[in-house]
Structure 1
Amino acid sequence: MSHISLQRSARQAAIKWFVIMQDADIEHPERSRFEEWLFSHPAHQRAYQEVCTLWEDLDSPDRLLHLESAMQQKIFIEKTDRSKKIRTVITRTLSVMFFAVAGISAYYGYEAWESQPTMHMVANTAIGQIRSQVLEDGTKLMVNANSDIEITYTRKERRVILKQGEASFDVAKNPDRPFVVDSGLARITVLGTRFAVNKFSSKVRISVDHGVVRVEPQQYLTTELTGVNRYAEHVLTLRDNEVAEFNLNGQSKRLQRPAADAFSFEFGTITFDQAGLEEIAETLSRYRQLPVTAQFDTANDVSITAVIQAKYTERFITELPIIAPVKVNTDRNATLLIPKKMQTSRKP
């Protein structure tokens, strides 16, 4: 028998055996005969493997049985082989796309999972009221009078928005979840430390009792990439007993003053260290229903250092003209602090 005849005969037999054995169980009576035929010649094994490979492209066993002629088989095999190559390329491409999409979906899904809030709270204090609270991670929070903060914990970050006023934080250390305070003018980032943030209209003051705090001006965070060089000098790292201020322009400066002064409000004490009238007015307004305002005069602003009990705020305002060149005007809407103009001497 020629090679071509042997190949055609093996293929025809393989098709018939495939139709018989595709639904046969292990105990089928024809299985022993099939196995005897299959292992009797390498050509039988090649032909049967070819039929198994092509089966997925056929609609029914009847179509297999009708592939009797060598020409039909040759045309079918060539067509199927081309389809198989195309299908392989498409399958591989779709596989790559699937895993890419799956990877991207998993990444953003994980990001969304990490960013999902695990704790959210708002802490508001009324005029003259001081509030203390221990957060779920053990962080201790003290909120000064007339202050407003919002706290959100996620799995990757602990974030506080200081909308108004003053607060101190004794942060539980967690390297995997930094503690971030957004004060509007600056962002403060820590891992574990005790610090205080005091927000005024034109500046924000950060005082570190112990630990390490990184402070970045808000302009640095929101400007274009070229802004790094412009604001890098104002990004500060504060350590034990260090104090710094950031103004509306994103400029920072370190202050030579005790950091402990920033925590005095926790004990009902107001501490002024070379404070101007604007700072004094905003601070006193936290402790009285009638707000205190100040007439700003750069040339004649005062510098006052004083320590008072919050409950004696009214007495301090009354005595203010005695200890500093300040005039106090009070009406039904507010108390106004006005710096007195410097008296110039005249020659006779």
Structure 2
Amino acid sequence: MTQDTLSEAEYDAITDAAAHWCMRMHAVDCSAQERHAFEQWFAAHPLHAFEYEAMLEIWQVAEHLPRPESALVAPIGKPLKSWRHYALAASVCALALPLGAFAGWNLGWLPNSFEHFASTDNVRHVTLGDGSQVELNLNTELTFSNYKDERRVTLKKGEAFFEVSHDMSHPFIVKAGEGRIRVTGTRFNVWLYEDQVKVNLVEGSVLVASNSQLSGDGLRLGPSMQARYKPGDYMPQISQTYANDSSLAWRNGKLVLDNLALSEALPLINRYLDKPLMLGESSVGNIRVGGIYNVKELNSLVSSLPRVLPVYLTRNKEGNPVINSMPQQPPKS
């Protein structure tokens, strides 16, 4: 991110513009010219995309609120500056509570804080508003909202390791994919890849549900257990992890491939690539690969595959590298 090079006034102007575009992109009378102007604004600076994504998250929160009859006011005892993102977006979207934000907090409708975090080329450590610590893997994005009766995180993409502050009366909910992870205080890892989610528990216990729309809290994990789920799963798949499990090697900047089939290795590799690696044919997925790699140097792993495996690389029309198996030599007569 380059926000450190901007003045406060410049940063505020980007926030104002993001709120404006959030309103216009959801308006029924939004014209083609406006959409074109938005696309130009969105692409003009990395912070534009960052702030707009934050506004979209606030919009999604506000969609669940009653329709307004009056403007939003800052919560009692809270300076407007700390509520800038929420108050601005909620007011321009005309989704403010008639009773005011303080009443919204008491009723559990509104958070008293909203935070948006993202990482790009480096692992990032952040502290959430409740004091919980989170480590974000490369190319990860999440939001945190603190409600009266619970703390909510939405993992929008990537992978994060959580050390959650213990609070039995204020559970911590992570929404990832179509499911959720519910905890009170623990250490665990969540990885979201495309539409699949994997949860690894290090300490404490968590409840994992594969579909947040279903009743019940899901299945309980204990230390050294993991859960996987994808859309359509009624229940997550639970398994045990072992001492040599390498799921958290990313925290040390490493990717460990322990003699994995390429079909299993590709999701682990692709989370670090700008252009995902593809299989030319399903049989290539059975070829096995191993080694320990620096997560910032995985492009070199891709280019080296033909030197260590019986494969060659091509590119598809989208520019993705494609792994193809070498044709077998015909038997000599």
Residues 191-340 of structure 1 correspond to what in structure 2 (within 5 A)?
A: 191-218=184-211, 221-222=212-213, 235-250=218-233, 252-258=236-242, 261-273=246-258, 275=260, 277=262, 280-288=265-273, 290-295=274-279, 297-302=281-286, 303-330=288-315, 334-340=319-325
1:162 partnered with 2:155: yes
Q: Find the aligned partners of 1:263 and 1:274 in 2 and give their Cα distance.
A: 17
Give the aligned residue type for 2:303: T
Determine if the alignment matches structure 1 residue 153 to structure 2 residue 130.
no
Q: CA deviation at 1:307?
A: 2.4
Paired residues in the alignment total 229
Distance 1:200 1:110, change over 3 A: closer
Runs of at least 5 residues in structure 2 that lack an aligned partner in the other structure: 1-98
| SS of alignment partner, residue 167 of structure 2 | coil
Q: Conserved in 1, the CA contact under 8 Å of 2:191 and 2:199?
A: yes
Which structure features the higher share of helix residues?
A: 1
CA gap of 1:205–1:149, structure 2 versus 1, over 3 A, is same
- Please tell me whether the aligned partners of residues 312 and 326 of structure 2 are also in contact (alpha carbons under 8 angstroms): no
Distance in 2 (CA, whole Å) between partners of 1:279 and 1:185 is 22
Query: Is the contact between residue 141 and residue 156 of structure 2 (CA under 8 Å) also seen in structure 1?
Result: yes
Give 1:117's match in structure 2, choosing from 96, 104, 111. Answer: 111
> Structure 1 vs Structure 2: percent identity of aligned residues?
23
Select the structure of larger CA radius of gyration: 1
Change (3 A) 1:296 1:252: farther
Distance 1:211 1:110 in 2: 32
Cα shift at 1:197: 0.6
Q: Aligned-pair distance for 1:318?
A: 2.2
Letter in 2 for 1:328: L
> Structure 1 residues 149, 320: CA separation in 2 closer, same or farther (over 3 Å shift)?
same
Q: If the length of structure 2 is used for normalisation, what is the TM-score? A: 0.58
Q: In structure 2, do the counterparts of structure 1 residues 276 and 190 end up closer, same or farther at CA, with 3 Å as the change threshold?
A: farther
1:140 aligns with 2:123: no
Q: Which AA in structure 1 matches 2:226?
A: V
CA distance in 2, matches of 1:255, 1:345: 43
**CA–CA distance in 2 between the matches of 1:134 and 1:162?**
15
Deviations 1:124-144 (Å, cap 9, x if unpaired)? 122x22211122322110111
Quote the RMSD (CA, aligned, Å): 3.4
- Worse-matched range after superposition: 168-177 or 247-256: 247-256
Q: Which residue of 2 aligns with 1:86?
A: none
- TM-score scaled by length of structure 1: 0.56
SS of aligned partner of 1:245: strand
Contact 2:106 2:148 in 1 (8 A): no
Give the gaps of 5 or more residues in structure 1.
Answer: 1-104
